[in-house]
C-alpha cells in the first residue's frame, strides 16, 4: 500500500510505539530487500500510548473512546487536538475528564485571542514577526516538540507589545501547522439567562445610573447581590448572572 501511493522510498513513516521493535523492523527488512533500497524510509515517528487510568485503550477492555463520544459530552473536537498538542508525541499522556476540561478551556481562550485580531486590517511587520517565526520553527525542528511550539503560540497571543496585525499573521501562520482551524473558529456565546423580575430591576438600576441616582442604583445592586446575582456593567448596558 505504501509503495503504491508513496513510491519505493519515502520520507516519514509513523506508528505506535508498540510497532517499533517487531512490526516495523520486519517492514524495513522486507521493503529494503524487495525494492533494493536503503534506507527505505528516512524518518520514523513512533508515538507513545494515550493512558486511560493505567490501561491501554482496547475493545476487549471496553474503554474505547471516540471523538463522537467527546462531542456528545459537549467538547469541541478540536479541543482534543489541543489536548494532544500539550505533550510530545514520544511522551505518554493520561486522558481524564479533568484534562479534557482544561484543554477545552485552553482552546476556547486561544480562539478568543485569535478572533480579537483575526479581522484587523493592514500589513504586518516582517522584522517584528521574524523572532517568533524562528522560535516556532526551532520547536518543530526539535523532534516535533509540540509543547514548545504551543508555548510560542501563547507568547504571541499574550504579547501586547506586538501589533494586532503581527499577532494575526503569526497565529494564523502557526495554525497552518497545528491544524486548530483558528482562521474559521467561532466563539459560541452562552445564551443569557432571563428572569422578568430581575430583568426589570436591572433595567431600573440602569435608568437610575443614567439619572445619576446612585443611591437607588446601589440599593438595587445590593439587593441582587444578596440573592446571589452578579451584575456586570458595560457601555452596551448591564448584564447579570447567578453567582456560581
Write out pLDDT tens, residues 46-90. 999 888 777 766 677 777 778 888 888 888 999 999 999 999 999
Write out pLDDT tens, residues 173-226. 999 999 999 999 987 654 456 788 888 998 999 888 888 898 898 899 889 888
Exposed/middle/buried for 211, CB within 10 Å: 0-12, 13-18, 19+?
Answer: exposed
Cα–chain-centroid distance for residue 28?
Answer: 36
Cα–chain-centroid distance for residue 177?
Answer: 13
Candidate from 46-55, 93-102, 152-161, 172-181 with smallest mean pLDDT: 46-55
Which CATH architecture does the domain made up of 119-178 adopt? Up-down Bundle (1.20)
Measured CA to CA, the distance from residue 123 to residue 89 in angstroms comes to: 35
For Cα atoms 177, 1, 30, give the angle at the middle one, nearest 5 degrees: 110
**Statement: residue 114 has pLDDT above 50:** yes
Domain ranges in the chain are 2-47, 50-105, 119-178, 196-242
Write out pLDDT tens, residues 3-58. 899 999 999 999 999 999 999 999 999 999 999 999 999 999 999 988 877 776 66
**Statement: residue 141 has pLDDT above 70:** yes
**Kind of pairing between the strands at 55-56 and 50-52:** antiparallel
Amino acid at each position: 500500500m505504501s509503495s503504491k501511493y508513496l513510491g519505493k522510498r519515502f520520507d516519514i513513516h509513523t506508528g505506535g510505539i508498540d510497532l517499533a521493535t517487531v512490526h516495523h523492523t520486519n517492514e524495513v527488512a522486507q521493503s529494503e530487500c524487495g525494492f533494493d533500497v536503503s534506507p527505505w524510509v528516512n524518518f520514523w515517528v513512533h508515538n507513545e500510548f494515550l493512558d486511560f487510568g493505567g490501561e491501554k485503550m482496547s475493545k476487549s477492555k471496553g474503554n474505547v473512546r471516540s471523538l463522537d463520544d467527546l462531542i456528545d459530552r459537549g467538547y469541541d473536537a478540536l479541543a482534543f487536538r489541543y489536548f494532544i498538542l500539550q505533550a510530545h508525541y514520544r511522551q505518554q499522556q493520561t486522558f481524564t475528564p479533568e484534562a479534557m476540561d482544561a484543554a477545552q478551556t485552553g482552546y476556547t481562550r486561544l480562539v478568543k485571542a485569535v478572533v480579537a485580531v483575526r479581522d484587523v486590517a493592514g500589513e504586518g511587520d516582517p522584522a517584528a514577526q521574524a523572532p517568533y517565526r524562528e522560535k516556532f520553527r526551532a520547536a518543530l525542528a526539535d523532534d516535533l516538540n509540540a509543547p514548545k511550539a504551543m508555548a510560542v503560540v501563547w507568547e504571541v497571543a499574550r504579547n501586547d507589545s506586538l501589533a494586532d496585525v503581527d499577532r494575526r499573521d503569526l497565529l494564523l501562520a502557526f495554525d497552518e501547522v497545528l491544524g486548530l482551524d483558528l482562521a474559521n473558529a467561532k466563539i459560541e456565546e452562552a445564551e443569557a439567562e432571563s428572569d422578568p423580575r430581575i430583568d426589570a430591576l436591572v433595567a431600573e438600576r440602569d435608568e437610575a445610573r443614567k439619572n445619576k441616582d446612585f443611591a437607588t442604583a446601589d440599593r438595587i445592586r445590593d439587593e441582587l447581590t444578596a440573592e446571589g446575582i452578579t451584575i456586570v456593567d458595560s457601555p452596551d448596558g448591564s448584564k447579570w448572572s447567578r453567582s456560581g
